[in-house]
């Protein structure tokens, strides 16, 4: 799946679900992966919050297209999006099985199966 602005937040929900399941398992050795999942989840959530702020500000402010505040909010949101997308893609390439023939970097078969959720 190619991630974009429309599907990044729903993807966050899958990352959160995977993280929650792995936290419940309390298996030793999952700490680094759990930390990366949390970082991705939080980064996507932060971007989404900025998008929500822009939607609210656009509704409430009647400053028109030249509003500097809205421009700055959008710039910040774009920056947050790029960071969230980068972290997510790094997580996927470093921890999750590829859809191609490349071997997964996760040595544990159960963890690979759980990661397939995300």
Please tell me the predicted confidence (pLDDT) of residue 74: 96
Please report the DSSP string for 60-108 in residue order: H----TT-HHHHHHHHHHHHHHHHHHHHHHHHHHHHSPPSSSSPPS---
Please tell me the predicted confidence (pLDDT) of residue 117: 54
User: Which of left, alpha, beta for 30 (phi over 0: left; psi -120 to 50: alpha)?
Assistant: alpha
Q: What pTM does this model have? A: 0.78
Please tell me the predicted confidence (pLDDT) of residue 111: 55
More confident site: 118 or 27: 27
Q: Is the pLDDT of residue 101 over 80?
A: no
Tens digits of residue pLDDT in 75-98: 999 999 999 999 999 999 998 776
Domain spans of the chain?
A: 8-115
Closest listed residue to residue 110, CA positions, set 29, 40, 41: 29
Tens digits of residue pLDDT in 13-63: 999 999 999 989 888 778 899 999 999 999 999 999 999 999 999 999 887
What gap in Å lies between CA 78 and CA 6, rounded to an integer?
14
């Amino acid at each position: 799946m190619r991630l974009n602005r429309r599907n990044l937040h729903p993807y966050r929900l899958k990352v959160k679900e995977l993280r929650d399941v792995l936290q419940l398992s309390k298996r030793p050795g999952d700490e680094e992966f759990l930390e990366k999942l949390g970082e991705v989840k939080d980064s996507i959530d932060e971007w989404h919050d900025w998008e929500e702020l822009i939607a609210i500000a656009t509704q409430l402010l009647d400053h028109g297209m030249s509003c500097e505040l809205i421009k700055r909010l959008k710039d910040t949101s774009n920056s947050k999006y790029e960071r969230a997308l980068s972290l997510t893609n790094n997580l996927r390439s470093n921890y999750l099985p590829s859809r191609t023939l490349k071997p997964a970097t996760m040595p544990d078969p159960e963890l690979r199966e759980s990661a397939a959720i995300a």
